[in-house]
Amino acid sequence: MFNGKLHGLTAACAAAAFAVGGAAGGAAWADPDDHELVIDGESIVTEVAAQPGNPLGTLYSGWRYRTPETQALQMDDFENPVMLQVDLARDVWSVAEGEAGKSCALCHDDVEVSMIGVKAGYPKMNAGAGKAFALEHQVNACRTERMGADAWKWESQDMIGMTALIGLQSRGMPVDIDDDALAPVIAQGKDIYNTRFGQLDLSCANCHEDNNGVMIRADHLSQGHGNGFPTYRLKWQGTGTLHRRFKGCMDNIRAEPYKRGSEEFTALEAYIAWRGQGLSVETPSVRN
C-alpha cells in the first residue's frame, strides 16, 4: 500500500504507473496540445472554462491528449473505424423486431432529425423507472417495453452501434445534463469518483485531477471526460462503452469493479457528464 509520501511524483501517480504496467520512473509532464478538432468542416469544442464548483479550471477533451495519428482517425469519418458500426445501426434503425413488430423508425422517424441533442442530455432521470438512465438503459427500455424485443447486452455490437448512431446526431453540441433532476445521482457519482478503491488505494480523482497531463510510459493521462463514448480504443482494437472504461480503470487499480449498467457506474457517468459540461459531444471518438 502506498502511503502518499513518495517524493517527485505522488504515491497516486506512482501507483497509476504501476497499474498500467510499469514503474513510475518513466513518468513526465506533458500538457494537452493546442490542436483544433474539425470534422466535416465543423469545429468541435475541446477546451472550455469549467462551470462554478467544478474541480477543474479549464476543461480539455481527451482528444487533446492523444497522438496526432490517433487524432487524425477521429477527424476523418472515412477513417474512423466506428463509422462501420454506425452504418450497420442505420439499417437496424428501420428493422421491425419483437412481439410488437416495431422498429426504432416507427416511433422516432428519421434518426438524423429525432435524435438531435439526445446524447448531449444523458444520463437523465427516467420517471417511470424512478432512477437515472444512461443512453444504453433507454435503448433497452424501448426494446423491451415498446417493441417486445430482447434487451441487448451492454457491450454488444448492436448496442454500441446504436448508441454511436444516436450519439453522432449530437456531435458538436455541448454536454448539457439536467443538474437539478440528477442532483442526488451526481452527488453519489462524485463520492464514488473521489473514493479510493483497490489494492493500489486510488480514486478517479488521483489520476484525472491530481495528475492529468502526466505521461506514464506511452499513456497520457487526460481529465477523464465521457463526451466521446462509445469510443474506439487502439488498446482494445474495438469500440467500447464508458462503463467498460470504468471497469478497466478499476481492474488496473486491483479493485472489484461494479457491473456495467449498475447504479454506481451510472452515477459515476452522471458526475463525469456534469464535470464535463460545455465540451462538445464527440461521439464516436477515437482514443489510444
Q: d(Cα 265, Cα 17) in Å, to the nearest integer?
A: 24
Instruction: Report how far residue 215's alpha carbon sits from residue 287's, in angstroms, rounded to the nearest whole number.
Output: 15
* Burial (CB count within 10 angstroms: exposed 0-12, middle 13-18, buried 19+), residue 182: buried
Q: Are 224 and 207 in contact (CB under 8 A)?
A: yes
Q: Which member of 142, 204, 207, 249 is catalytic?
A: 249
Helix (H) or strand (E) holding 163: helix 157-168
Q: Which helix (H) or strand (E) holds 233?
A: strand 231-233
Burial class (CB in 10 A: 0-12, 13-18, 19+), 217: middle
Contact 218, 287 (CB under 8 A): no
DSSP line for 101-153: TB-HHHHH--HHHHTTTTGGG-SEEETTTTEEE-HHHHHHHIIIIII--PPPP
Is 249 catalytic? The answer is yes
Beta strand 285-287 pairing with 231-233? parallel
Assess whether the previous peptide bond of 284 is cis (omega < 30° from 0). Answer: yes
User: Cβ-count burial of 146 within 10 angstroms (0-12 exposed, 13-18 middle, 19+ buried)?
Assistant: middle
SS3 content of the chain, % helix, strand, coil (to 5): 40, 15, 45
Q: Taking Cα atoms as reference points, which of 252, 148, 242, 119 lies closest to residue 197? A: 252
Query: Which sequence positions are flagged as catalytic?
Result: 249
